[in-house]
Amino acid sequence: MRRLEELDRVDREHGLGAAVPVGSGERRHRRGRRGRDGRRTTGPVLPGLLVSGVLAGVVMLHDPGMTGYRLRQLADQLTGKDAGSYSFVVETGAGDPVGWDHCSPIRYVVNPEGAPDGWERIVRAGVETVSEASGFDFQYDGTSVDRSFEGRRVDPDSPPPVLVAWADDSEVPDLAGSTAGIGGSTPQQVGGRVRFVTGLVVLDADAYARMEATGDEQSQVLILAHELGHVLGLDHVDDVDELMNAEYVGQTGFGSGDLRGLEKLHALPC
């Protein structure tokens, strides 16, 4: 878990909203079951994640898919008997997760360039899946031409809406190979609390084109829902029954652990 002290250090060095290196986690998409090796991977900037320059200033998680290769898993999970597993991207020193203000809608826009033909239906279903599971209100603010995927700066007085977009690895190098999407949010100090104020989801256009060609709309929806889970503040878990597992193996929605984590994020003070 990343602690508030580490965010403070990054802020002192770079300033809120500045372009800073951030970490990455990974997810695979495959149809079979998998084994567990319990490996941990750490990087020099923030514990538990490798250093990455993608989408600087945003706490991002990378989600490869579509190839079936085994990926590393992130640790620091919270488990309960028969309750599944959940994990948070960022926690305060007191152990509370960093999340969004649930008393205000989370505004989002969509850049449909490179999107599959049914992108409106896919986005609507993905957002509804996350909203119903979490209780957060998502407000659609229309389409956008914004493609500022790297070095995004956030005006603390007027943060931009969450951006959902499609791209390929020529535009976003971290979409190379098996990466199906990346998602995350930007934390800032608001009213004495650290909370997320904007976010970003970039989906791999080629992967979505392949899924569209085979009529696999469910995977398109659930990969987006998984990325929006990162936007809300959920990290990866080892539990294969959770949608926030690093691999997609046919889950039909958020698992019991995912739901517990989302409930805790929604319970944070406004």
pLDDT at 110 > cutoff 90: yes
Residue type, 262: L
Which pLDDT tens digit goes with each residue over 26-46?
Answer: 344 433 323 333 322 222 222
Place of tokens 């229309």: 142
pLDDT at 83: 65
Which pLDDT tens digit goes with each residue over 124-133?
Answer: 999 999 999 9
Cβ proximity of 163 and 108 under 8 Å: yes
Query: Residue 106 in 3-state DSSP?
Result: strand
pTM: 0.75
**Boundaries of every domain in the chain:** 4-266
Which pLDDT tens digit goes with each residue over 151-174?
Answer: 677 787 889 999 999 999 999 887
> DSSP characters for 206-249?
HHHHHHHHTT-HHHHHHHHHHHHHHHHTB--BS-TTSTTBSEES
- Specify the CATH number of the domain 4-266: 3.40.390.10
pLDDT at 65 > cutoff 50: no
The candidate with the shortest Cα–Cα distance to 101, out of 159, 181, 55, 144, is: 159
Of 93-102, 143-152, 210-219, least confident by mean pLDDT is 143-152
Share of the chain above pLDDT 90, in %: 50
CA dihedral 42, 43, 47, 50 (to 10 degrees): -80
